[in-house]
Structures are given as C-alpha cells and as structure tokens.
Amino acid sequence: MPHTPGLPHRLLQAVVLSLLVGACSRADKPAAPPAAGAAPPALPVRVAQARTQALADRLRAVGTLAANESVVIRPEIAGRVAAIHFEEGQPVKAGAPLVTLDAAEYQAQVAQTEATVEANRLTHERTAGLVEKNMVSQQDYDQARARLAESQALLQRHRVLLDKTVLRAPFDGIAGLRLVSPGAYVQPGQDLVNLEDIDPLKIEFRVPERHAAALTVGRPLRVRVDAVPGRSFAGEIYAIDPRLDAATRTFALRGRVPNPDGLLRPGMFAQVELTLGERPAALVIPEQAIVPRGERLYVFKVVDGKATLVPVRTGLREPGIVEIVEGLAAGDTVVTEGQMKLREGMPVQPLEQAS
C-alpha cells in the first residue's frame, strides 16, 4: 500500500471539527423545563399583624373665630369731640368713658328746662290753692298741671341728650383703633372705635346632619389655628342651631374657647375637632395594606405561606392606620408592600414586620 503524505494531519483536523460542532449543538439546545408540579418561587413581601388599640371617633370641621362680644361705638347725637379717654389696643372696663362730646349746648338746654319746670311748678301750686277757693276755674288748674308735666318730660329728654355726650364701654373688652381725633365734629351713627371682648372667643362651624344626634351642648372640642402651630385650645359647644341648611344638609354650632393669654384673635380661620366616642379595642392595620378593587376594599392575608385576598370593611382612620370592622381578626398577618405583584394563592416570603 502506497504511503499518502499528510493523511494523519487531515484526520486530526476532522476529529477536532467534529468535536466543535457537537459542542455548539449542545449549547444551542434550550434548558429542560422544571419538573411538572414544582412550586413557583416565593415572592418577597413586607407584612404586618392586625392588632388592637384604642381609637377615638373624631369629627373634624373648619370655622372662624369671633369675639365673644363686639361693637362699634357710634354717637347718637351730633357734636364736637371734646376728649378721648382710651388708649388704642388697651383693655377698658364696662362703663368706662371712651369719648366725650362737647356738652355745653346740652347743659344749657337742661338748665333752661329746669327753670321752666320750676316756674310751671309754682304756677301749678298757686292754681291748686285758688281752685280750692273757687277763684280760678278747673280748666285753668288742668292747664297749669299739663304745662308742668310737659316741662318735666322735656327736662327728662334734655338730660338724656346730655348723658349721650359721654360714650361709655358697654362691656369689658379691648379698644380698637380710633377713627376720630379730639376736635372732630361727628354725626349720629359715625364710627368712632370698635370694642372687642376676646376672652373667651366664639367659634362657629357647620357639620353634616348625620351627626345631629351625637352633638350636644357642653360637648368638648379642640381648636387649632395656623397662627399658633403645634398647639390646640380646648373649648366646648354652647349653642346648636335648631334649623338645618336645606341646600347643604348641615347645621351650625357655636363653641366657646378660653383665651386668657390673647393668642387667638377674632377672624382667624380655625380647625375644629370633636370626639364623638371612644373605642378601647379597635382592630387596626397599616393603611397601605388596603387594596381597593372597584367599590370594595381588600387585603392580602398570609395563610400557610400563601397570599389570600380577603374583603374587609373599614371604620375609623388615624394617621398611618385604619380600623378593620369586618374581615380580619387580631394576629392575622397582612401584606403591606408588594401587593401589585401578588395573585390569589401565590407563595410569599415575609421580609420583615412593618411597623
């Protein structure tokens, strides 16, 4: 047999090429599917347990603060301002003079009328003595008596007008900013200064009609205002409007809030909170566990390592938590993060207990 040069080398190349083709064929082949019936991997989720705690059934509303008493001082007669007796923004006592008008004209009227009354009184006394002696007629006596009564009534009127030259504080309060100066001539009804009683203050607000039976006179309330952050003020309801607003189905209430340090001012916007009842053992879960679907609410409850979609009925809410009235029991574990990837019956792996 003749010798063929290079044959072993070509044979070696063929063997190597065959091995490479086999390796590529095995790499392109897809991996075998998992065995039938194998469980899918557990989905990591965060969970929390349903627990009981005390909750308060609170009603929140908005209202406006108003002075306990408020009035604008206005003169009833015309006159020139003779004196101003108050300091702007300072307390005044009930009955204290605020503004005095020039009283010279009214004093003269009183003096003139007093003289007329005295003259008519003497005439009446003389006529009374003469009528007893039949020296004057009964008609003359009646006219003398009438003139005396008329002058006495006029004197009373002039004294009232003289009293009106001094404008006094009708109640204890804080004087506002005056709108006139001494020497100004004022007309009846002209604004002179406002007077505000700010301790206590009133708060007026409206609530829906469904709370009508729960709200009674004397029920405590708390007020918060933006001007005093981080602080609330206690008060109580003192009046309830018996008529509801037919358009809004709400009714008005008024409360009083003590204001001894003067931090609150009339006109401030206020948030009102009332406690309608206490629930000492309410069942609560984190609010992020709630899964709304349509018009119903659900949670994913963890049972034997699997997620179960459970319908729930909620009640009161507090920041971060919600009361569960129906659907769960104390100690049940619910998913608080990762619900979007969950399906009924999926296995879950709790990462940690949510606070």
Report the amino acid identity of residue 172: D
**CATH fold for the domain made of 103-164:** Helix Hairpins (1.10.287)
- pLDDT of 145-179, one tens digit each? 999 999 999 999 999 999 999 999 999 999 999 99
pLDDT attached to residue 194: 96
Task: Kindly give, in sequence order, each residue whose CB lies less than 8 Å from that of residue 207, ignoring residues fewer than 6 positions away.
Answer: 59, 61, 215, 250, 251, 253
Are the C-beta atoms of 172 and 195 separated by less than 8 Å? no
CA distance 202 to 64: 8
Torsion of CA 262, 225, 251, 321, to 10 degrees: -140
Which residue in 205, 210, 237 sits closest to 221, CA to CA? 237
Residues of the chain with pLDDT under 50: 1-7, 11-12, 15-16, 21, 23-32, 354-355
pLDDT attached to residue 61: 92
CA distance 85 to 314: 62
The full DSSP string for 205-241 is: EEEEGGGTTT--TT-EEEEEETTSTT--EEEEEEEE-
CATH node for 45-55+280-353 = 2.40.420.20
Per-residue buried b or exposed e for 78-102, using 16+ beta carbons within 10 Å of the residue's own CB: ebebeebebeeeebbeeeeebbbbe
pLDDT attached to residue 31: 46
pLDDT attached to residue 317: 86
Locate 7 and state its tokens: 């044959």
Contacts 24+ apart (CB under 8 A), 104-107: 105/79, 106/77, 106/158, 106/161, 106/162, 106/165, 107/162
- pLDDT of 289-310, one tens digit each? 999 998 899 999 999 999 999 9
To which residue do tokens 């705690």 refer? 53
Domain 60-67+197-279 listed as CATH 2.60.120.460: no
To which residue do tokens 């007893």 refer? 132
Domain ranges of the chain: 45-55+280-353, 60-67+197-279, 103-164
pLDDT attached to residue 38: 58
To which residue do tokens 């009133």 refer? 202
3-class DSSP assignment, residue 190:
coil
**Whether residue 200 has a cis bond before it, omega within 30° of 0:** yes
To which residue do tokens 């020497």 refer? 183
Number of H helices, E strands in the chain: 3, 19
pLDDT attached to residue 111: 96
pLDDT attached to residue 37: 54
3-class DSSP assignment, residue 296:
strand
pLDDT attached to residue 120: 92
pLDDT attached to residue 318: 84
